[in-house]
Structure 1
């Protein structure tokens, strides 16, 4: 079971909006000892959204989908999720109650009659239309909920708005409510150094030797061309099972010393 993201919206792909979900999701997962496995970016194309969801719903992964659950013509995610599941879209009773509560509160704040039967308010209820069988995700910002559905396998899909101020607390709620048993299940440690003015091709045999000696560790290499503040360097490190990371790191440093490489710990 991996954790994945689906980030939906033409505005992300066109550059009109900068995606803030990817980095925040990594932060929220890391704080709970969890790690992101994959991420997909999809425009506001119903066929492509549906195809993506059919593929991911057939698996076991825990998936967070951001965006497209409003009620404007470019919001397709709710309908696409239903199509991918092969079920109808229905007005969720809890969502209906929450949306009506929000309408009443907004009207009261403006000193107006809520007029729940008004066309614009009836249209707002569409934001509570979810795939049949869905459960709601509370929205602490404005009460308009998101929704969750089961996968064909062990995981689940969780659909939240594209607005970070709403989406990120909702993702936290899902993690803390549905998946606390998965927190800090995999022990993980990382150590690295900046290696200056070296070539990756020179260091590759050392990297391979460390991974061979310590199979529960991965060696990573992140080259940088440098800038006005930093010389050209490679961030070279090891990550994985803490029972092997320290020894792997020692072997890595010994190898660098053998090359007479200049380095410093990150």
Structure 2
């Protein structure tokens, strides 16, 4: 698959998102971080902490060839299933990654030193449980976590990160700027939109079809409103694609909207 056609997906894992106890923050941040690098999110999913569901989702995403970022569920408690599901989806065993062991051990030592406790014994049940957070699918690479050293992992174009934004977002940036630097600003894309009043969406639809037929690399979009928040009903019409063709398509769509009786002001 060429660099110009790589799709990028986001998987957000957590029952707390689906129940409404927590509000997702990853989607907007991922869009922002990708956009700053000339990249674009192609799809996103929110999934609960259900191992079978996660296995099925990861099987699909691994098979897709997409670049995927997954946030959440990589901890060591019974409600965390992402590490196990990723391994099962790939048919790989789980094992303690040596670099993860080193990072978690260093973090445990730092915590003990900060609290004035003796150097920790990593063979105690409590510290063995901490090391479970470094048990990843065999053959993966770690993703460094600058916040508290507890790493995520990377395998087959999938990057798995914690659900905590303070950890996940720096890890996402690091991954974009190291593994995927070659994809930054590969495609020059533009997006233009305008508001049109006084015509129904059905009347402008043939012009949108004509845009995509005349300029194959350009997509037309329509976002109608029904007058909520005291605003008059209108349609936000737009185009996105390569800068030159997009500008031509925009001028065509504006002219068609006016020809069909649309107004650019309320």
Q: Under TM normalisation by the shorter chain, which class is it?
A: over 0.9
**Residues 1-266 of structure 1 correspond to what in structure 2 (within 5 A)?**
1-116=6-121, 117-150=123-156, 156-228=157-229, 230-263=231-264
How far did residue 257 of structure 1 move?
A: 2.0
4+ aligned runs moved over 4 Å, structure 1: none
State how far apart, in whole Å, the 1-side matches of 2:202 and 2:54 are: 41
State how far apart, in whole Å, the 1-side matches of 2:119 and 2:232 are: 63
State how far apart, in whole Å, the 2-side matches of 1:169 and 1:215 are: 37
Which 10-residue stretch deviates more, 137-146 or 217-226? 217-226
Deviations along 1:88-121, one digit per CA (max 9) or x if unpaired, are: 1111111111111111111111111242233211
State how far apart, in whole Å, the 1-side matches of 2:56 and 2:253 are: 44
Where does the alignment leave 5 or more consecutive residues of structure 1 unmatched?
151-155
State how far apart, in whole Å, the 2-side matches of 1:77 and 1:216 are: 37
State how far apart, in whole Å, the 2-side matches of 1:214 and 1:86 are: 44
Deviations along 1:222-241, one digit per CA (max 9) or x if unpaired, are: 01123335322111011111
- TM-score, normalised to structure 2's length? 0.93
State how far apart, in whole Å, the 2-side matches of 1:227 and 1:114 are: 62
SS of the equivalent of 2:70 reads strand
How far did residue 220 of structure 1 move?
A: 0.4
SS of the equivalent of 1:58 reads helix
Q: Pick closer, same or farther for the CA change 1:210–1:55 going to 2, 3 Å.
A: closer
| Aligned residue number for residue 153 of structure 1 | none
SS of the equivalent of 1:130 reads strand
Preserved CA contact (<8 Å) 2:198 2:261: no
Where does the alignment leave 5 or more consecutive residues of structure 2 unmatched?
1-5
Q: How many residue pairs are counted as aligned between the two chains?
A: 259
- TM-score, normalised to structure 1's length? 0.93
State how far apart, in whole Å, the 1-side matches of 2:43 and 2:11 are: 9
SS of the equivalent of 1:181 reads helix
How far did residue 186 of structure 1 move?
A: 1.3
